[in-house]
Chain A
Amino acid sequence: MEQAKLNSLKKNAVDIRLGILEEVHSAASGHPGGSLSIADIMTYLYFEEMNVDPKNPKMADRDRLVLSKGHTAPALYSALAHKGFFDKSALSTLRQADSFLQGHPDMKGTPGVDMTTGSLGLGFSSACGIALAAKIDGKSYRTYAIVGDGESEEGQIWEAAMFAAHYKLDNLCLVVDWNGLQIDGPVTEVMNPTPHDKKLESFGFHVITIDGHDFEQIEAAFNEAKTVKGKPTAIIAKTVKGKGVSFMENQVGWHGSAPNDEQYEKAVAELKASL
């Protein structure tokens, strides 16, 4: 990857992380940990990978993203705002009664949100439906689904996995955000979904495991996914929950709690210094 492109992605990722922190700090609630873990993937998707038009969010042949782990909506909203789907000033209204930014993604209220999600396990199935619709209509757009590692404990994820392979949805790319932590503790201790890669392979997926914070690896994986025919691709992205904010990293307590003023300032300073 060219240095200029890499620098630009890194800058966007910091901006998106700053947006996430602004959102959850303003709301005094929300899910920073899993939002920060997918920030780099979200950056790559919206700034490099996906064919979307912020001026025409319902463009018929756009690529689609379903954030199945809908509680990390702050990452999606921040990416959408920075891409220009709506004004960045809206980020500070997250979760407020008069805001169009719901606690979990609402396709009817927020420009750029392709599917309503939040109840874990449901979004991936809907992504399969979108990918199937593209096949039925002979369209070339691609569908991306981001699923959590903990979310993969839901049985419906595996119903959808069977479906995706059965209907050879090679226009579907699943990203598993493997940050290793869920509310009750480490994923492997709460209800171990490993070996996640072997499971997905046996379900009929082409599986690529990457460092979900390395843009070169993210790019290579998405490019590889597009070359795979006859089966869906799953990218298992090894990530760090709370990535980018030292005191949030790998701390399960930051799954669903917001920083106070002091913590927010510290986090912002850290992120700005990282540029």
Chain B
Amino acid sequence: MAEKIATREAYGNALAELGDKYDFVVLDADLAAATKTGVFKKKFPERFFDCGIAEGNMISVAAGIATTGKPVFASSFAMFAAGRAFEQIRNSVGYPHLNVKIGATHAGVTVGEDGATHQCLEDIALMRTIPGMTIINPADAVEARAAVEAALNINGPVYLRFGRMAVPVINDASYKFELGKGINMADGKDVTIVATGIMVDMAIEASKLLANEGISARVINIHTIKPLDKEIIVDAAKATGAIVTAEEHNIIGGLGSAVAEAVCEACPVPVLRVGVEDKYGHSGKVPPLLKMYGLTVENIVEKAKAAIALK
């Protein structure tokens, strides 16, 4: 079985590792132990600043620091970063296009027991509406580490989405991260599964089950949701004629919407969306929650067949 590491863990480790190579500051809002910025804090205490439980202030402070030319990571749970501090991200960071990286952890229902108030399912939608915002939702620890460095190498706002739960490492040492480029994880001709974050692993599993039934499914990993790799998606639409999207997010405004928009404009084919269907989260252990919200291999398989039937 593959090794399991939470992407938030990889985030904290990446900050600590990259702190030697790059000059940046890290802010947190009393969640350093959970967001894993605490790993950076331990190594670089003079470059870490706790802002207390005041996320709006943290984001505007980050913007101020960034005006002086220093990149800043500001971390909290996705709910309190993209949600609570949306307006600060929009007006203090996005509008002046400042070099602030928002490290948002605990996204989605895989937060588990804490329940709906802490399970952000809207952050991708919110961040997509901000002009100039880059959004990265890594699938595993390898991709997460690469995403953090890629974020440092662009001058502008980046929203990095990480999860609480340990997830299988699906990429190996040969992995190359290219910002804004989707990754073909499996080739196929009957249908394409476009997945992001924890759903990439499930999409790969789904393609194997589909293969057993004689259905050839292409799998694309979209780590960069904005700017979206329209080329790889439109190519897949042309080649396979049907698409299923999979994301741990509300089906409104997230990856599914972004893919549907791209496909509609260039090569209209059926697009079915696997995701949380306009609902709030719920307390519980992760496996029953994933089942409750249809974030499963089985649902991807079912939607893939339904999409093919619509061709």
**Hey, which bits of chain A sit against chain B, CB under 8 A?**
60, 64, 66, 106-108, 114-116, 118-119, 121-134, 136-137, 155-156, 159-160, 162-163, 166-167
Contacts and interface: CB of A to CB of B under 8 A. Distances in A.
A149 B272 CA distance: 52
Given A107-B67, A115-B64, A156-B56, A132 B91 contact: no
Contacts of B61: 125-126, 128-129, 132, 160, 163
B22 interface: no
Contacts of A114: 67
B60 A156 contact: yes
Interface in B47-69: 47, 49, 51-52, 54, 56-57, 59-69
Contacts of A60: 69
B251 to A, nearest CB: 30
Given A108-B96, A125-B57, A125-B61, A137 B68 contact: yes
B60 A129 contact: yes
A75 B101 CA distance: 33
Nearest to B53: A159
A128 B52 contact: no
A131 B49 CA distance: 13
A122 B59 CA distance: 9
Given A156-B56, A159-B54, A160-B57, A133 B97 contact: no
Interface of B: 25, 46-47, 49, 51-52, 54, 56-57, 59-70, 72, 87-88, 91-92, 95-97
B47 A129 contact: no
Contacts of A137: 68, 70
Contact of A136 (B25, B56, B87, B95): B25
A171 B63 CA distance: 18
Nearest to A124: B60
A162 B60 CA distance: 14
Contacts of A122: 56, 60, 87-88, 91-92
Contact of B65 (A121, A123, A129): A129
A132 B52 contact: no
Contacts of B46: 136
Nearest to A123: B60
19 contacts: A106-B95, A107-B96, A116-B91, A119-B91, A122-B60, A122-B91, A125-B63, A126-B60, A129-B62, A130-B68, A131-B64, A132-B49, A132-B61, A132-B65, A137-B68, A160-B61, A162-B54, A163-B61, A166-B52
A257 to B, nearest CB: 24
Contacts, number: 104
Contacts of A119: 87, 91-92
Chain A CB within 10 A, most for which of B68, B70, B96, B97: B68
Given A119-B91, A133-B25, 18 more contacts: A66-B64, A106-B95, A107-B67, A114-B67, A116-B91, A122-B88, A122-B91, A125-B60, A125-B64, A128-B57, A129-B65, A132-B64, A136-B25, A136-B70, A159-B54, A159-B56, A160-B60, A167-B49
A116 B56 contact: no
B64 A136 contact: no
Given A122-B88, A136-B70, A116 B96 contact: yes
Closest 7 CB pairs of A and B: A129-B64, A125-B60, A126-B64, A159-B57, A159-B54, A129-B61, A133-B68
A167 B49 CA distance: 9
Describe B's contact surface by its main secondary structure.
Answer: helix
A64 B91 CA distance: 19
A163 B72 CA distance: 17
Given A107-B67, A136-B70, A118 B54 contact: no
Contacts of A115: 63-64, 67, 96
Chain B CB within 10 A, most for which of A116, A125, A159: A125
Contacts of A132: 49, 61, 64-65
Contacts of A118: 91
A135 B65 CA distance: 11
A18 to B, nearest CB: 30
A126 B63 contact: yes
A207 B195 CA distance: 55
Contact of A130 (B25, B65, B88): B65
Contacts of B62: 129
Nearest to B88: A122
A108 B88 contact: no
Contacts of A167: 49
Contacts of A130: 64-65, 67-68
B219 to A, nearest CB: 40
B57 A163 contact: yes
B238 to A, nearest CB: 39
A204 B86 CA distance: 29
Nearest to B92: A122
A155 B70 CA distance: 27
